[in-house]
């Protein structure tokens, strides 16, 4: 559902800061922030300093801050620096604004600091899902005499928003507040507190329990996403204890609160004036230690809320993409899963000469071409069926934990008699792979018998992607099933030592491979296996960099290799490192590989000679081959969105760029569906 679904209701009264509006349109993470902490919660200049610091904390955690306030009769979602300054200095002349006050303040052209209820109402209207505050209001002590219940509670019962706070303010009747929240249908969960001790603003424990607990941002985001899916129209309160070093003693604070309440009663303070009076009194009684705690918990809540919003954004993007594909066929990926351990050698060049090289060892990460492509497709394309084999061991658990929920698990089999495949990758300082040391015997068990168990997945797939880790009999049955059900296969050669494996199969099966994406070394191996001319051309780093710079024999050999492979395979897509991508087929750059029904479009005229189109790398993409798996992810995603070839290359290159900026082989995020790469074709020249 579009996040701006209700914005027209407020279109004449609301101003949304451009960066917030852009984030709303593109499902980027956003955190709403209230403004009463500026106008009524703290003295100047602490109020201004805290508000600015809180926004910076949200940004540093990867979300967009949206402080909400009323200025001169206009609702502001996102404030400029000068507007913060004005609110901070003129807080006494502003109106503390909740739902009750909103119409009056706007109609009079006044300014106001929005309370929890006012902020939540506006944030919910414009589509912001996560709101960070200090503590919410609640049922006041002696409610049986005063009937004083904060509008925050009823508002949370009406809206579908997640509020991250340090529970409720200590000045309130906490057990009655929890009961009232339950009556309103508000889900309460503590954060990273397995004991479920409900916090009390200044104190980490109130003496009462919440019904649930979420351990981390991912669990919190899943809870929020589920509530949104169910359309419950009631909120979630995530109660975050104040950091221990800033927490105050609960018995000490309770004595102070009792004294402050008595002072308020004697002074005739009631209604919405009670809370600011009590907070000021508590500050006086504690020598402003309470203010220090107040500031600390607000900052920490913003930190947590931003992390939650970031994870929620990932879920929403997957869901958004999945909606587009929910009535469509799901691609199948078959291949290896392994744990990569990476070593970057600082010295250059690298030679196997027994020398000691200065190196950096990176933490382990998920690897395997098939696994990487499956994870990448799930993030950029939507749901993916992944067929693979892992051991029943710690590394197997680790690999499963890395896969998004949009990657199916039922076809990832666990073998108790085999270890999960693992590999040590030696990279040079440019990030290019130089040597692999691998233990991958388990991949031999991804055989014909295993693949036949998942024939139904291939039958309903628009495309079947497989890597060279699979044994030859497994490749054979994949291609037989693809031929049976008229499904195109996409072969990722994986490594120059095993790139030619499927070409040992009968030609009628090889021809079922419609796409192949080798690098120059893998292409050379395949073409040599097929008998392309003389012995293979020796290719080193220097030669590759000189491509198109006077080394015509290199280019002519590459084209000759592509011609040989294209006798068997319709589309040969060669990643040439910093030089770009060479596509060889019998189409034009405007050809669409799939129609709107996700049926493979054969070449325009199979009797025509092949064309060689060279797509140049953009300036900010250093090396397409260095992120080959993600290039393939982007290319395939665009293909099955019925994009033409030059757009597929554009999306592939943008995916490679995202991978090159990531420490992991597959980045956490690629880019959104409205990114310009989906509209801007990659440039090319005919060779």
- Long-range contacts: 520-524, Cβ < 8 Å, 24+? 520/544, 520/558, 520/574, 520/575, 520/576, 520/577, 520/625, 521/496, 522/493, 522/494, 522/495, 522/496, 523/499, 523/558, 523/561, 523/562, 523/565, 523/572, 523/574, 524/496, 524/561
Q: What pLDDT, on a 0 to 100 scale, did the predictor assign at position 538?
A: 58
Of 514, 512, 541, 516, the C-alpha closest to 527 is 516
What residues have CB less than 8 Å from 465, skipping those under 6 apart?
331, 332, 333, 334, 335, 370, 373, 489, 490, 491, 492, 632, 636
pLDDT at 362 over 70: yes
Q: What pLDDT, on a 0 to 100 scale, did the predictor assign at position 272?
A: 62
Q: What is the rounded distance in angstroms from the CA atom of residue 50 to the CA atom of residue 65?
A: 13
CA distances from 483 to 329, 392, 460, 572 (A): 17, 33, 13, 19
Q: What pLDDT, on a 0 to 100 scale, did the predictor assign at position 537?
A: 55
What percent of the chain shows pLDDT beyond 70? 91
At 670, is the secondary structure helix, strand, or coil? Answer: coil
CB-based contact 63:32 (threshold 8 Å): no
CB-based contact 682:651 (threshold 8 Å): no
pLDDT at 132 over 70: yes
The DSSP symbol for 609 reads P
Q: What pLDDT, on a 0 to 100 scale, did the predictor assign at position 210?
A: 96
Q: What is the rounded distance in angstroms from the CA atom of residue 498 to the CA atom of residue 544?
A: 21
Question: Which comes out higher in pLDDT, residue 456 or 169?
Answer: 456
Count of Cβ atoms closer than 10 Å to residue 323 Cβ: 11
Q: What is the rounded distance in angstroms from the CA atom of residue 62 to the CA atom of residue 123?
A: 19
Q: Which ranges constitute the DSSP H helices of 594-674?
A: 628-639, 645-660
- The CATH classification number of 328-686 equals 3.40.1190.20
Q: What is the rounded distance in angstroms from the CA atom of residue 360 to the CA atom of residue 428?
A: 10
pLDDT at 267 over 90: no
Q: What pLDDT, on a 0 to 100 scale, did the predictor assign at position 2?
A: 40
Tell me if residue 560 is catalytic. Answer: no
What residues have CB less than 8 Å from 81, skipping those under 6 apart?
52
CB-based contact 391:418 (threshold 8 Å): yes
Count of Cβ atoms closer than 10 Å to residue 553 Cβ: 10
Tell me if residue 480 is catalytic. Answer: no
Q: What pLDDT, on a 0 to 100 scale, did the predictor assign at position 154?
A: 93
What average pLDDT does this structure show over 420-432?
79
Residue from 34, 544, 645, 654 carrying the catalytic annotation = 34
Domain ranges of the chain: 7-316, 328-686
* Range name among 117-121, 161-165, 194-198, 339-343 with the lowest pLDDT average: 339-343
Q: How confident is the model at residue 493 (pLDDT cuts 50, 70, 90)?
A: very high
Average pLDDT, the chain: 85
Preceding omega of 108 cis (within 30 degrees of 0): no
At 244, is the secondary structure helix, strand, or coil? Answer: helix
What pTM value is reported for the model? 0.53
pLDDT at 125 over 70: yes
Residue from 76, 169, 514, 657 carrying the catalytic annotation = 169
Q: What pLDDT, on a 0 to 100 scale, did the predictor assign at position 70?
A: 96
pLDDT in tens, 280-328: 778 778 887 888 998 999 999 999 999 999 999 888 766 554 444 443 5
What is the DSSP pairing of strand 385-391 with strand 611-615? unpaired
Class of domain 7-316: alpha beta
pLDDT at 377 over 80: yes
Q: What is the rounded distance in angstroms from the CA atom of residue 384 to the CA atom of residue 328?
A: 12
Give the residue carrying structure tokens 């073409």.
527
What residues have CB less than 8 Å from 169, skipping those under 6 apart?
134, 135, 136, 137, 138, 200, 201, 275
Q: How confident is the model at residue 342 (pLDDT cuts 50, 70, 90)?
A: confident
pLDDT in tens, 505-560: 999 999 999 999 998 889 988 988 888 754 455 555 444 555 555 556 777 888 88
């Amino acid at each position: 559902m579009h996040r701006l679904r209700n914005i027209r209701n407020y279109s004449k009264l609301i101003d949304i800061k451009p960066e917030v509006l852009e984030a709303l349109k593109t499902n980027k993470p956003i955190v709403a922030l209230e403004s009463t902490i500026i106008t009524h919660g703290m003295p100047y200049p602490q109020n201004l300093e805290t508000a600015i610091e809180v926004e910076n904390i949200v940004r540093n955690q990867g979300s967009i801050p949206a402080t909400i306030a009323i200025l001169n009769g206009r609702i502001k979602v996102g404030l400029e620096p000068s507007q913060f300054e004005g609110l901070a200095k003129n807080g006494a002349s502003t109106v503390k604004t909740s739902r009750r006050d909103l119409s009056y303040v706007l109609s009079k052209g006044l300014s106001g600091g929005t309370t929890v209820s006012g902020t939540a109402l506006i944030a919910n209207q414009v589509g912001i899902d996560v709101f960070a505050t200090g503590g919410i209001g609640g049922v006041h002590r002696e409610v049986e005499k005063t009937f004083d219940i904060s509008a925050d509670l009823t508002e949370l019962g009406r809206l579908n928003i997640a509020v991250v706070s340090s529970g409720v303010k200590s000045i309130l009747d906490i057990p009655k507040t929890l009961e009232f929240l339950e009556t309103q249908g508000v889900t309460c969960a503590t954060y990273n507190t397995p004991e479920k001790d409900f916090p009390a603003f200044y104190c980490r424990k109130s003496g009462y329990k919440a019904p649930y607990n979420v351990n981390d941002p991912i669990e919190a985001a899943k809870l929020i996403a589920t509530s949104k899916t169910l359309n419950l129209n009631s909120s979630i309160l995530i109660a975050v204890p104040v950091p221990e070093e800033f927490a105050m003693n609960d018995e000490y604070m309770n004595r102070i609160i009792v004294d402050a309440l008595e002072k308020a009663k004697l002074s005739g303070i009631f209604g919405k004036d009670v809370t600011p009076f009590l907070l000021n009194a508590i500050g006086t009684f504690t020598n402003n230690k309470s203010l220090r705690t107040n500031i600390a918990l607000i900052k920490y809540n913003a930190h947590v809320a931003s992390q939650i919003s970031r994870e929620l954004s990932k879920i929403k993007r997957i869901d958004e993409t999945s909606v587009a594909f929910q009535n469509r066929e799901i691609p199948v990926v078959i291949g290896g899963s392994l744990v990569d351990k990476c070593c970057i050698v600082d010295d250059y060049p690298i030679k196997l000469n027994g020398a000691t090289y200065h190196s950096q060892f990176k933490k382990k990460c998920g690897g395997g071409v098939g696994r990487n492509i499956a994870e990448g497709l799930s993030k950029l394309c939507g749901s993916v069926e992944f067929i693979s084999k892992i051991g029943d061991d710690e590394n197997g658990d680790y690999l499963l934990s890395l896969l998004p929920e949009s990657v199916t698990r039922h076809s990832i089999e666990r073998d108790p008699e085999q270890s999960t495949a693992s590999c040590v990758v030696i990279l040079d300082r440019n990030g290019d792979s130089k040597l692999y040391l691998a233990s991958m015997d388990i991949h031999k068990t991804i055989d014909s018998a295993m693949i036949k168990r998942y024939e139904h997945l291939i039958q309903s797939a628009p495309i079947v992607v497989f890597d060279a880790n699979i044994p030859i009999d497994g490749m054979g049955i994949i291609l037989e099933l693809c031929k049976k059900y008229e499904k195109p296969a996409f072969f990722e050669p994986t490594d120059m030592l095993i790139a030619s494996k499927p070409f040992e199969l009968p030609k009628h099966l090889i021809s079922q491979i419609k796409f192949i994406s080798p690098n120059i070394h893998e292409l050379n191996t395949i073409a040599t296996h097929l008998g392309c001319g003389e012995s293979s051309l020796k290719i080193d780093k220097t030669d590759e960099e000189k491509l198109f710079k006077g080394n015509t024999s290199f280019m002519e050999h590459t084209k000759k290799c592509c011609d040989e492979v294209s006798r068997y395979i319709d589309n040969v897509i060669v990643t040439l490192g910093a030089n770009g991508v060479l596509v060889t087929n019998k189409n034009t750059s405007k050809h669409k590989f799939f129609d709107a029904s996700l049926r493979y479009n054969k070449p325009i005229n199979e009797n025509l000679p092949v064309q060689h189109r060279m797509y140049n790398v953009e300036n900010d993409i250093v090396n397409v081959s260095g992120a080959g798996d993600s290039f393939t992810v982007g290319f395939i995603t665009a293909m099955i969105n019925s994009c033409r070839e030059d757009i597929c290359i554009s999306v592939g290159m943008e995916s490679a760029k995202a991978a090159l900026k990531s420490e992991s082989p597959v980045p956490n995020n690629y880019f959104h569906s409205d990114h310009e790469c989906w509209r801007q074709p990659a440039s090319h020249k005919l060779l």
